[in-house]
Amino acid sequence: MKKYLIKTTLMAIAVAAVSCSPKEDSTVIGKQNTKIENGRMTPEVLWSFGRVAGTQVSPDGTKVLYSVSYYSIPENKGNSEIFVMNADGSDKKQITKTATREAAAKWMKDGEHIAFLSSESGTMQLWTMKADGSDRKQISKREGDINDFAFSPDEKKLLFVTDVKYGERTVDKYPDLPKASGLIVKDLMYKHWDEWVQTVPHPFVADFKEGKIENKKDILKGEPYECPMKPFGGIEQLAWSPDGKTIAYTCRKKTGKEYALSTNSDIYFYYLKTGKTVNKTEGMMGYDQNPTFSPDGKWLAWESMERDGYEADKNRLFIMNLQTGEKADLSVGFDQNSTGLTWTSDSKSILFVSCWHAVTEIYRADIAEKKITQITKGVHDYSFVAQAKDKLIGVYHSMSKPDEIYSIDPKTGTETELSFENKDMLAKLEMGKVEERWVETTDHKQMLTWVIYPPKFDKTKKYPTLLFCEGGPQSTVSQFWSYRWNFQLMAANDYIIVAPNRRGLPGFGKEWLEQISGDYGGQNMLDYFSAIDALAKETYVNKDKMGCVGASYGGFSVYWLAGHHQKRFKAFLAHDGMFNLPQQYLETEEMWFVNWDLGGPYWDKANAIAQKSYANSPHLFVDKWDTPILVIHGEKDYRILASQGMAAFNAAVLRGVPAEMLIFPDENHWVLKPQNGILWQRTFYEWLDKWLKPPTPKEEK
């Protein structure tokens, strides 16, 4: 159900979904002049922030390349532009300003040119330009989009990813029915999050001579496998060796039912001279992905999970000695995930980010000493780190600030902001206080719970309060900044938000994380009660006006709590939640997830873990529903089908429980289009205000 990079990749997905193309109105979209009243966040203000992404450090470590996306609510679309600045934040320049989409910008080896993808010619093709935006040239002219790319270190070859046909299509079987829309399905994994699978990404390698791409070869040689892996994998799942002779790539070489049941991906080496492929992680049974070579070519590092079928397993930091083939886990004894790996220039250490106690910091793993050291410390989440001479460049966000680029002193951890893309907007807004609390659970453990207060909080007043239920389920309630579930926007509407890191979340050790598997409706639900009950004791919490909200597994939590809350809440709101677990088992496409987390199929009566899971399906407790509920779902959500939300809404109406439903025919597991996003927010607060904000005396009359 989850992936560790979901929160950091959603912005890129949203841009891809709604960016301008040459076939649309060619209006250039930039910063929006959104009015801010009383220093309060609004949905319109939230959608006006610039979204920083794609940070790249130049080869000599002196410059930083990145993109910024802005959205237009009236035009219902967004666009990204490319920026360059010095590594100390000076001399920042916007080097593109077009109505077409630019993406995946990367430095070329001379540090004076940039390669990037642009839709200017109608499809996403490879272009180059100078670092000041001049001398813009189109390099590729192929049919179909290029998804991403990476030059070999000497820039004599190009590695690029594009989609290739998968399986037999209806028109292949019946050429006389070219307009037939039906899909003939013969095996599992026929859908992926929001698409019917008719193509898969493949990596190609080609000669790059005098600005021309020649002699391209499919590295998978026509094999019917994904590379990178859907739905979130990108070019980070492939890597060039420093000598340019080898490409390491991530692939799960499975299809159909076998693919649906397994997470076992491997790291393969493709040797350009011979065209042969060798599996370098054979026998390692979980996710092995995101390979990266050391600059001296002696080591390979990658992220590795141990167990097949468990997508939320610990992300270990593995290295391989490329001379001996010996593998080692540098994260032994480090009870945290290791993601976003990048080598230091001396090949002696690996930088990465990791979440612990609901904040994500930068760490360094030293190979010789096999020692991990924390570099940064603060109330924020880092999503990226790279070396820039004697400094580090990182990207971080918090519950009170969207992504910005920072310079970090690797010795002291001192952070200096560089990009300031949203400085003016943030200066006009008053953010609510974010407080860290530790709450005792029913089994006498301590649980970190974030409490976010309204701006101008007055402890002598009573405030309506929301319990936030996290999705995943193994996705931490860290210092994330969301363009939908934004805690500061909730606080700006005069709600107190209670966001617990309940059982099943990473960043608190293996035992805390894994307790939830096979225990849906169990201890993690008691954790929710512990958090909201602790806050309800505060004099400033209106315990008669408490609501409960969440999406995905959080939506399941809302449905389950609706049948067990014992009058605690006065309003519920569930987005894309699981309502009927037996049905969910057969509706989702990633069978490894439901097999691991639910324990197996509902028809296995001898499986006590599975039977416990299905006995806690929310649809079995509708007879106890007595509280108003808003259901939201997207019809292009193929992970948790919209039928789950519709069934929950129908059940509430038939039970006589006040209910509404917001259905999006064109949205998936998220809400990506600007006007749909605004509609989501307006419906969200209109519903909660109706049930949780006491009417004024005038309104009562």
Cα–Cα dist 61/56, whole Å: 10
Task: Kindly calculate the radius of gyration of the chain based on its CA atoms and give it in whole angstroms.
Answer: 25
Quick check: is 346 catalytic? no
- pLDDT at position 32, please? 78
What are the helix and strand counts (H, E) for the chain? 15, 38
Q: Which of 381, 527, 597, 637 is catalytic?
A: 637
Cα–Cα dist 379/361, whole Å: 9
Q: Hey, is 622 helix, strand or coil? A: helix
CA 328 to chain CA centroid, Å, is: 28
- pLDDT at position 27, please? 74
Q: Domain spanning 431-696 has what CATH number?
A: 3.40.50.1820
Domain ranges of the chain: 135-329, 431-696
- pLDDT at position 5, please? 40
Task: Compute CA distances 535 → 288, 465, 644, whole Å.
Answer: 41, 9, 31
Cα–Cα dist 564/600, whole Å: 25
Q: What is the pTM assigned to this prediction?
A: 0.95
99 token code pair: 């109505």
Cα–Cα dist 473/616, whole Å: 15
Rounded to 5°, angle at Cα 104 from 103 and 108: 125
CB atoms within 10 A of CB 480: 22
- pLDDT at position 30, please? 79
Sign of the torsion angle spanned by Cα atoms 473, 478, 483, 487: positive
Quick check: is 637 catalytic? yes
Which DSSP letter does residue 623 get?
G
For the chain, report the end-to-end CA distance as a whole number of angstroms. Answer: 48
Q: Which of 69, 552, 557, 617 is catalytic?
A: 552
Q: Which of 202, 380, 397, 669 is catalytic?
A: 669
Cα–Cα dist 647/265, whole Å: 36
- From the first residue on, what is the mean pLDDT of each consecutive set of 10 residues in the chain (701 residues)? 44 41 61 89 96 97 97 94 97 95 96 96 96 96 95 97 93 94 94 94 95 93 95 96 98 97 98 97 98 98 98 98 98 97 98 98 97 98 97 98 98 98 96 98 98 98 98 96 97 98 97 97 98 98 98 98 98 98 96 97 97 98 98 97 98 98 97 97 98 69 45
Cα–Cα dist 14/535, whole Å: 35
305 token code pair: 């999970």
Strand order of the β-sheet with 77-86 is 51-57, 63-72, 77-86, 93-94
Cβ-proximal residues to 9 (8 Å cutoff; 6+ apart), any chain: 232, 234
- pLDDT at position 359, please? 98
